[in-house]
Amino acid sequence: NAGVTQTPKFQVLKTGQSMTLQCAQDMNHEYMSWYRQDPGMGLRLIHYSVGAGITDQGEVPNGYNVSRSTTEDFPLRLLSAAPSQTSVYFCASSSRLAGGQETQYFGPGTRLLVL
Amino acid sequence: AQSVAQPEDQVNVAEGNPLTVKCTYSVSGNPYLFWYVQYPNRGLQFLLKYITGDNLVKGSYGFEAEFNKSQTSFHLKKPSALVSDSALYFCAVREHNYGQNFVFGPGTRLSVLP
């Protein structure tokens, strides 16, 4: 299994540009999430999905869109990039166990710089 | 609302000495607690989790953590630190049956000095 994969590894954008961060998992996990990691702030949840066709907002959803057309893929779209979106983005997936005790598996991350 | 605190930004320890990375949490119900480690330029890797039962949880790479309900803490420990343990450590909490959302602490950078 490849686990959770993310592309690209690094991206530079200009303010106002749009782009899509790709995330895929091959573990047939129902749950997928997007986090951003900023120094001193840990990981903050952007959007998540509990299954194909179902998405919901996390703690910091503004400026980002997601969709989940398949179990495997969960792309994150930046609509109009801003310097405040400079961050490291992590995708995670987990299977659905009773009560929420499942472990999340993380991708290697995408480092985004917005100029 | 759920929250996680890691009171130390940085922990330094000499190789061979015991290490502790502290975590306290706040949830309104029963917690599920997790520790993850992040090596430079890598994603987070799962170390261990507390779901229920024995308060002392053993995980990967010789790490263990003790759940203390009265102190709402879940400190990560290792009896003998290795230089290769140097990394960023995150504590996370999810409230039982709360659904998807994990809440992560800000992270503690562990440096093990040779």
Measured CA to CA, the distance from residue B66 to residue B98 in angstroms comes to 22
For residue range B28-72, list pLDDT tens digits in order.
888 889 999 999 888 899 999 998 888 999 998 999 999 999 999
pLDDT number for residue A97: 65
Task: For chain B, say whether A1 makes contact (Cβ under 8 Å).
Answer: no
A56 part of contact set with chain B, CB < 8 Å:
yes
- Cβ distance A48 to B36 less than 8 Å, yes or no, reads no
> In Å, how far is B18's CA from the nearest CA of chain A?
25
Q: State the nearest Cα–Cα gap between B107 and chain A, in angstroms.
A: 6
| Tens digits of pLDDT across chain A (115 residues) | 789 999 999 999 999 999 999 999 999 998 899 999 998 788 999 999 988 999 999 889 999 999 999 999 999 999 999 999 999 999 999 887 655 567 889 999 999 999 9
- Using alpha carbons, select from A25, A36, A40, A22 the residue that is nearest to residue B10: A40
Q: Which is more confidently placed, B96 or B45?
A: B45
- Residues of chain B with Cβ-Cβ distance to A101 below 8 Å are 32, 49, 51
Chain A with chain B: Cβ pairs closer than 8 A? 62
pLDDT of residue B43: 86
Residues contacting residue B65 through CB under 8 Å, at least 6 positions apart:
B33, B35, B48, B50, B56, B57, B59, B74, B75, B76, B77
Most B-contacting residue of A103, A105, A110 (CB-CB within 10 A), to test interface: A103
Tell me the backbone φ, ψ of residue A106, rounded to 5 degrees: -105, 145
Q: What is the mean pLDDT of chain B?
A: 91
pLDDT at A99: 57
Give me the pLDDT at residue B69, please: 92
pLDDT band at B102 (very low <50, low <70, confident <90, very high): confident
Nearest partner of B28 among B49, B47, B55, B3, judged by Cα? B3
pLDDT of residue B84: 95
Closest partner residue to B101 (CB to CB) among A4, A58, A90 is A58
Q: List residues in chain B touching A: CB distance below 8 A.
A: 4, 9, 32, 34, 36, 41-46, 49, 51, 90, 94-102, 104-107
Among A104, A110, A111, the residue to mutate for chain B (most B Cβ within 10 A): A104
pLDDT confidence bin for B99, thresholds 50/70/90: low
What confidence category does residue B96 fall into, taking pLDDT thresholds of 50, 70 and 90?
low
